[in-house]
Amino acid sequence: MQTGDIIQRCTSDVETIRRFIALQFVQLGRGVFMVLLLVPIMLSMDARMTLVSMVVVPFIFIYAYVFFRQVRSRFQAADEAEGYLTTVLEESVSGIRVVRAFAREDYEISRFEAAANDYREKCRKLITVLAYYWSSSDALCLIQIAAVFIFGIGWTIKGEISLGTLLAFSTYVGMLLWPIREMGRILTDMGRALVSVGRLKEVMDTEVEELEAGFHLPEGFRLKGEIEFQKLSFAYDEAHPILKDINLRIAPGETVAILGATGSGKSTLTNLIPRLFDDYKGRILIDGVDITAYNRKDLRRQIGIVLQEPFLYSRSITANIGMALKDIDPAKVEKASREAALHDSISEFEDGYETVIGERGITLSGGQRQRCAMARALVLDPAILIFDDALSAVDSETEQIIQRNLLSRKGRATTIIITHRLTGVALADRIVVLEHGKIAQMGTHNELIAQKGAYQRIWNIQHQLELEAS
Amino acid sequence: MQEHTEKEYTTKFDWSLWLKMLRELKRHKSKVYLLIVVMIFNALIDTILPLMTKYGIDNMIIPKDYSGIQTFSLMYFLLILFQFVNVYLLIDIAGRIETGLNFDLRSRAFRKLQSMSFSYFDRTSSGWIVARVTSDINRLGDVVAWGIVDLIWGFAMIIFVLGVVFSLSWKLALILLALMPVIAVISIYFQEKMFRLFRQVRRYNSMITHSFGEGIHGAKTTKTLVCEDANLNDFTDLTNKMYGSSIKSAIISALFMPMILMVSSVGTGIVVWIGGSAVIGQVISYGTMVAFISYTMHLFEPFSNVARLFAEMQHAQASAERVFSLINLEPEITNNEDYTQDWQSRKMQARSASKT
């Protein structure tokens, strides 16, 4: 299921169902009860007047039903035009630097105004059609009310019905018509609500991750951090294996760099350690114990992961860095942010560590986001640290500062560094080169540089580039 | 955890802000005038329809005279036809004003954004800008265009109804007049409360949507940080707040109509009581009494509409302030055209000087 689709199911579909139950279902019930209660009363008073009062009722119902089915595509067109307008605006605002760099302001204005105009036209057309519907259905209802009164005048004059009966019918017809007109519209929406129920049920029926099983680690307990992969294989689908027969032991406190091309299985390998995926073959041991034996939450608390594209919450910087702490300690937060070379950037913000980031606050640059995620991992002081290409958006100078900071805590945690750049392996005790899901080479920098293989190839290319650049 | 929230509600009604908003309608002046005329006619026909009933009772049923039925039917049909045109025009014109105003404000806001420096975009989140240019402007267009409809219809209706009832029977008209403040107070109180709670529910709803987005986009991070429980607690807290507000909103909405109907029914009862005696005493006709009952039962509509409009406007003030704050930003990048012209003129002067 795509992320956008899940969000839509949890928000729009829930809203459709809520609206149906809270508003439309009530209106529908009102319409049905009005018919069930009023028609017998009207029949008991005068059958002919009832017939006259009901002439337009089926037509108004069918008219509303058919109209709102037909007009659905126009609603959709207006929604799509609004969606496109928002996309154009978002693209233009987030890409403002590119717009300026290529002096495309006029082009952007005309593109935005074209989108805004298209949205205006689609809304206008929709409103015109709705104007026709509401005015004509109003007229139909008024004709029905007039018909009851005009026929009633004749029968009252002839003495066939009383003036009281005529006035009662005049009131009843109004009570019947408007809810029935609404019923036609509601029935067209009912289909949408049923589809939403089905879509939401799929989310509700999805199997949940077992978080409580396994043995618990005592409060404050810290693992040594020895990691061992035994004959590890993994595939999202059988036809395309990602990891093939990996055997690797990482000693407690050791720093290992994993190098490899995109798709070589580096991130997958590290995602398996905190049990983000379970369907692998082989075994993963931490401190000699199969990771499936640990309680999943306790295991994850021992691991700090920094992702290449870190996710930050729309909260303050302090709240983001201290997210996983039981009680946020500002001193710890500041220490971690200094280690991640983020403190100086934070100090420049007006509200410092209380600056709100994300959609409800300021936007951080890619490098700042990565450093914030790094501080979030460091503040936990976990037994295992994983940096998944975590400094890709950081400039070389800041990268060096961070590496120097990390060097001072070397040996404190077992550290896995995933990287494309050779500068990232500087801290590593050992380097593992992955190729097509297999370990192609393993050793220290000096050992690997002497071997023919991927590492030497990458080294030569990047070294050559650096020389050319300098 | 600290969360930045937008100002949603200002207690003081800011007349100057809305006057500024009305000035934005300058480009749509002719449509606004036409809409006002249409709404006055609309209210006029809504006032005339009960008089048709009165005419039918007093001039045909009571004297048992069927002769005028064809003319009466034709008149009734013409009124319906006229109202059909009115309703069509009111929706179409209000829609044109709404979409036109939205387009103008959007275009101005976007052009202003193009003149802002990078630092503006660094300190302002894209989400904030998008929300101002899309939903806030939509809200303003809606309040202004349909506000004109409600306001003109409401006031016209009150004036026409008062005019008619006083011409029919000033004694019965006094009953209606006495009911008006009661209905006005109930309408203002409930509509403001209903709208405030409605906005609160919508605000919680948008916070829940945002929370869903965060929960889904940040699922991997949440799992690795083991903060599922903390996030769930925050989310549950939010849904509980929405639940509480929704219940309050439902209770207030459920109370409003019965209260109004109660007052209207009491009014109708008094009209029947006093009017009935007057009919027996032949002071007023049957038709007059029926027309009075109809006016009394529908008296709340204009008050309710106008009260709802003011509640909406009060809540839309925050949107208006935000949109104007964007449109009225001082441009941080000035066009270099003046500089170029200045440079060219100096170049020309230099040339002519070198020739002499």
Q: What is the pLDDT of residues B74-92, one digit of tens each?
A: 999 999 999 999 999 999 9
Both A185 and A245 in one domain: the answer is no
- Range from A69-78, A334-343, B158-167 carrying the lowest mean pLDDT: A69-78
The pLDDT value given to residue B3: 39
The pLDDT value given to residue A210: 82
**Mind listing the pLDDT tens digit for each residue in A4-62?**
778 778 887 888 888 888 888 888 888 899 999 999 999 999 999 999 999 888 888 88
Using alpha carbons only, what angle is made at residue B233 by residues B229 and B237, rounded to the nearest 5 degrees? Answer: 170
Residue A210: inside a domain, yes or no? no
**Mind listing the pLDDT tens digit for each residue in A155-181?**
999 999 999 999 999 999 988 888 888
Residues on chain A touching B27 (C-beta within 8 angstroms): none
CA nearest B221 in A: which residue?
A311
Mean residue pLDDT across chain A: 87
Residue A218: inside a domain, yes or no? no
Both A345 and A278 in one domain: the answer is yes
Q: Does residue A293 have a pLDDT over 70?
A: yes
Helix A56-70 with A47-54: angle, nearest 10 deg? 20
Segment A366-378 mean pLDDT: 89
Residues on chain A touching B41 (C-beta within 8 angstroms): none
Length of chain B: 356
Percent of the residues in chain A that have a pLDDT greater than 90, as a whole number: 38
Residues on chain A touching B99 (C-beta within 8 angstroms): 120, 123-124, 127
At B56, the pLDDT band (50, 70, 90 cuts) reads very high
Q: Does residue A247 have a pLDDT over 90?
A: yes
Say if B209 is an interface residue toward chain A (CB within 8 Å).
yes
Both A160 and A238 in one domain: the answer is no
The residue that leads in pLDDT, A359 or B124, is B124
Say if A157 is an interface residue toward chain B (CB within 8 Å).
yes
Residue B182: inside a domain, yes or no? yes
* B5/A360 touch (CB, cutoff 8 Å), yes or no: yes
Q: Does residue A284 have a pLDDT over 90?
A: yes
Cα distances (angstroms) measured from residue B299 to each of A4, B166, B256: 48, 15, 14
The torsion region of residue A159 among left (phi > 0), alpha (psi -120 to 50) and beta comes to left
Residue B61: inside a domain, yes or no? yes
Phi, psi of A162 (to 5 degrees): -85, 165
List, edge to edge, every strand of the sheet that includes A289-290. A241-250, A227-235, A280-286, A289-290
- Portion 260-279 of A in contact with B at CB < 8 A: 274, 276
- What range does the domain containing A101 cover? 3-204
Both A136 and A262 in one domain: the answer is no
Residue A209: inside a domain, yes or no? no
Burial (CB count <10 Å: 0-12, 13-18, 19+), residue A405? middle
What is the least distance, in Å, from the CA of A165 to any CA of chain B? 13
d(CA B174, CA B208): 51
Residue A296: inside a domain, yes or no? yes
The answer to whether residues A225 and A413 touch, using CB atoms and an 8 Å cutoff, is: yes
The pLDDT value given to residue A411: 82
Segment A116-138 mean pLDDT: 93
Helix B69-114 with A72-94: angle, nearest 10 deg? 20
Cα distances (angstroms) measured from residue B273 to each of A293, B255, B270: 84, 27, 5
Partner residue facing A7 (CB), from B90, B216, B230 = B216
Burial (CB count <10 Å: 0-12, 13-18, 19+), residue A384? buried
Residue B272: inside a domain, yes or no? yes
Tokens 């019905």 -> residue: A161
Tokens 């580039």 -> residue: A465
- What range does the domain containing B28 cover? 16-330
Q: What total of structural domains would you count in chain B? A: 1
Both A182 and A312 in one domain: the answer is no
Name the strand (E) or helix (H) holding A419: strand A414-419
Phi, psi of B335 (to 5 degrees): -60, 140
Residue B352: inside a domain, yes or no? no
Residue B235: inside a domain, yes or no? yes
Segment B145-165 mean pLDDT: 93
Say if B12 is an interface residue toward chain A (CB within 8 Å).
no
Pairing of strands A280-286, A289-290: antiparallel
Rg, Å, chain A Cα set:
34
Phi, psi of A77 (to 5 degrees): -60, -40
B131 token code pair: 């929300």
d(CA A120, CA A124): 6
* A150/B72 touch (CB, cutoff 8 Å), yes or no: yes
**Residue A452 belongs to domain with CATH number:** 3.40.50.300
The residue that leads in pLDDT, A224 or A100, is A224
Torsion of CA B130, B136, B140, B143, to 10 degrees: 140
d(CA A305, CA A413): 12
Q: Does residue A122 have a pLDDT over 90?
A: yes
**Residue A197 belongs to domain with CATH number:** 1.20.1560.10
The pLDDT value given to residue B8: 52
DSSP conformational letter for A236: S
Both A159 and A16 in one domain: the answer is yes
Say if A21 is an interface residue toward chain B (CB within 8 Å).
no
Residue A213: inside a domain, yes or no? no
Phi, psi of B46 (to 5 degrees): -60, -30
Q: What total of structural domains would you count in chain A? A: 2
Residue B10: inside a domain, yes or no? no
- Range from A131-145, A159-173, A245-259, A396-410 carrying the lowest mean pLDDT: A396-410
Residue A316: inside a domain, yes or no? yes
Both A274 and A410 in one domain: the answer is yes
Both A191 and A331 in one domain: the answer is no
Residue B4: inside a domain, yes or no? no
* A359/B127 touch (CB, cutoff 8 Å), yes or no: yes
Segment A338-349 mean pLDDT: 89
What is the least distance, in Å, from the CA of B172 to any CA of chain A? 20
Phi, psi of B229 (to 5 degrees): -65, -45
Both A192 and A321 in one domain: the answer is no
* B210/A359 touch (CB, cutoff 8 Å), yes or no: yes
Partner residue facing A138 (CB), from B87, B100, B127 = B87
Both A166 and A279 in one domain: the answer is no
- Range from A334-348, B163-177, B206-220 carrying the lowest mean pLDDT: B206-220
* Substitution target from A84, A89, A165 for chain B, most B beta carbons within 10 A: A89
Partner residue facing A138 (CB), from B83, B129, B208 = B83
**Residue B208 belongs to domain with CATH number:** 1.20.1560.10
* B216/A10 touch (CB, cutoff 8 Å), yes or no: yes
At B334, the pLDDT band (50, 70, 90 cuts) reads low
ipTM for the predicted complex comes to 0.79
Partner residue facing B61 (CB), from A136, A139, A156 = A156
d(CA A412, CA A382): 9
Helix A56-70 with A163-204: angle, nearest 10 deg? 30
Using DSSP's 3-state secondary structure scheme, residue B102 falls into helix
Say if B130 is an interface residue toward chain A (CB within 8 Å).
yes
Percent of the residues in chain A that have a pLDDT greater than 70, as a whole number: 97
Residue B8: inside a domain, yes or no? no
Partner residue facing A313 (CB), from B87, B88, B218 = B218
At B11, the pLDDT band (50, 70, 90 cuts) reads low
Burial (CB count <10 Å: 0-12, 13-18, 19+), residue A75? middle
B292 token code pair: 């009075």
Q: Does residue B343 have a pLDDT over 80?
A: no
The pLDDT value given to residue B333: 66
Both A192 and A234 in one domain: the answer is no
The pLDDT value given to residue A167: 92
Using CA of residue A78, residue A79, residue A82, residue A88, what is the dihedral sign? negative
* Inter-chain Cβ pairs, chain A and chain B, closer than 8 A: 208
The answer to whether residues A207 and A262 touch, using CB atoms and an 8 Å cutoff, is: no
